[in-house]
Amino acid sequence: MKIPINVPVIEKEEINEVRNVLLEKSLTTAAYSGGKRVQEFEGLLSSYTGSRYAVAVNSGTAALQASLYALGIKSGDEVLIPSFTFVATANSVMSVGAKPVFVDVAPDNYTMDPYDLRKKITKKSKAIMPVHLYGNFSYMGEISEIADKHNIDVVEDAAQSLGTTYKKKQSGTFSRLGCFSMYAAKVMTSGEGGAIVTNDKEIFERLRKIRNHGMLHGYDTRILGLNLRLPEISAAIAKIQMKKLPKLLKKREQNAKILTELLSDLDFILPIERTGVKVNWYLYTISTKNRDKLAKQLNEKGIGATAYYSIPTHKTPFYKSKAELPMTDWAASTVLSLPVHPLVTEDDLHYISKIIHQLIEK
């Protein structure tokens, strides 16, 4: 039996829409507004998140990078980010010439710790980039309060949290910009892709130029930009996936609930939803002191248990930061994600639970 950690749900509708793009031979466009399917996807995302505007780009990393460009973040500026996340967050900061400042995480949901954040604000701080890790919701109330006090912009790295809500408001919409990823393993996919949502018209128009070499009409580059465009084939997949998203998230929620019931008797720290938060269950992440041994044994049994970010960003060979982040170190050595994606069946969940119990008993 093989139960991978995440699998994209691609069906006839996506295949047919991609075929239509190929038959039309309209694979991409350098138009300011984007291609037909890019615009359709942007409309669906804007409606789903309740945002005035959405801008599609070719990766979640590009979404972060374009957002920082749009805010004018530059060399000499500092951007506060968690270390316990995928390296794209830090890389996007470095790519615009700014310095990433690493902040510790809260132990209950692995997102940015507002208390540590407060300590690390300096005169050079120009942006805060909290990450809604594993689909959990960051402490946006406290983070926004700190940002407002110091007149600092916030960019939500919501790459993993599309569909996560707080008091029925979508993640990614609690700040000036919210960035999503449509990588193949995410809750919805375009293969590779990303998007930014905002309610700020000026930022929206700037983002459209940034994704297209700074151009408005043809070769009239007005600001610094890059080729961050989302191809029409990718947008075709994303368009269909957006329509299916509520159904896909419902299945993840059901699977997470079943797995919690099955594992509740074990000495694990299980994921929980804070009051008011509805998690998208992108990853079902437990914490256990014997993580590495358990992960290896589960993998040998065909279960795609995965330890994400066992090397936090600040300890990678490139960054080599001396930042002291005790909760980040703890999380990096104990967390383990288990499969709950829509293609996981109830039988699969019982098999996962059975194997875990057998291994623990040994």
Q: Tens digits of per-residue pLDDT, 179-190?
A: 999 999 999 999
Quick one: average pLDDT of 314-321? 96
pLDDT in tens, 326-359: 999 999 999 999 999 999 999 999 999 999 999 9
SS3 of residue 244 by DSSP: helix
Beta strands 284-287; 277-278: pairing state? unpaired
The residue range of the domain holding 90 is 12-240
The answer to whether residues 65 and 89 belong to one domain is yes
The answer to whether residues 115 and 186 belong to one domain is yes
Q: What one-character-per-residue DSSP string does 5-22 give?
A: S------HHHHHHHHHHH
- Determine the Cα–Cα distance for residues 75 and 98; give it in Å rounded to an integer: 5
CA angle 94, 137, 130 (to 5 degrees): 20
| pLDDT at residue number 280 | 98
- Residue 299 CB: number of other CB atoms within 10 A? 12
Beta strands 177-181; 153-157: pairing state? parallel
| pLDDT at residue number 362 | 78
Tokens of 79: 């951007």
The answer to whether residues 201 and 66 belong to one domain is yes
| DSSP 8-state assignment for residue 96 | T
- Determine the Cα–Cα distance for residues 130 and 99; give it in Å rounded to an integer: 15
| pLDDT at residue number 59 | 98
Q: Which of 179, 211, 240 is the last residue of a domain?
A: 240
The answer to whether residues 281 and 196 belong to one domain is no
In a domain, 3, yes or no: no
- Mean predicted lDDT score pLDDT of the chain: 97
Quick one: average pLDDT of 198-225? 96
The answer to whether residues 131 and 196 belong to one domain is yes
The answer to whether residues 228 and 263 belong to one domain is no
Is the pLDDT at 96 greater than 90? The verdict is: yes
In a domain, 282, yes or no: yes
Dihedral pair phi/psi, residue 321, rounded to 5°: -80, 150
SS3 of residue 343 by DSSP: coil
AA letter at 75: S
Residue 361 pLDDT level (bands cut at 50, 70, 90): confident
Residue 291 pLDDT level (bands cut at 50, 70, 90): very high
Please, which residues bridge with residue 197 across strands?
54, 178
In a domain, 2, yes or no: no
Tokens of 269: 């720290």
Question: Strand runs (DSSP E) across 93-244, as ranges?
Answer: 99-103, 125-128, 153-157, 165-166, 169-170, 177-181, 194-198
The CATH number that applies at residue 151 is 3.40.640.10
pLDDT in tens, 215-270: 999 899 999 999 999 999 999 999 999 999 999 999 999 999 999 999 999 999 99
In a domain, 290, yes or no: yes
99 to each of 90, 124, 128, 302, 332, how far by Cα in Å?
8, 9, 12, 41, 23
In a domain, 6, yes or no: no
Number of domains composing the chain = 2
SS3 of residue 348 by DSSP: helix
State the Rg of the chain over Cα.
20
Q: By percentage, how much of the chain surpasses pLDDT 70?
A: 100
- Determine the Cα–Cα distance for residues 116 and 169; give it in Å rounded to an integer: 26
Is the pLDDT at 1 greater than 90? The verdict is: no
- Determine the Cα–Cα distance for residues 156 and 144; give it in Å rounded to an integer: 11
| pLDDT at residue number 317 | 97
The answer to whether residues 83 and 224 belong to one domain is yes
The answer to whether residues 194 and 298 belong to one domain is no
Q: What one-character-per-residue DSSP string does 162-175 give?
A: TT-EETTEETT-SS
pTM for the full model? Answer: 0.97
The answer to whether residues 184 and 267 belong to one domain is no
Q: Which of 240, 270, 301 is the last residue of a domain?
A: 240
Are 336 and 294 in contact by the 8 Å Cβ rule? The answer is: yes
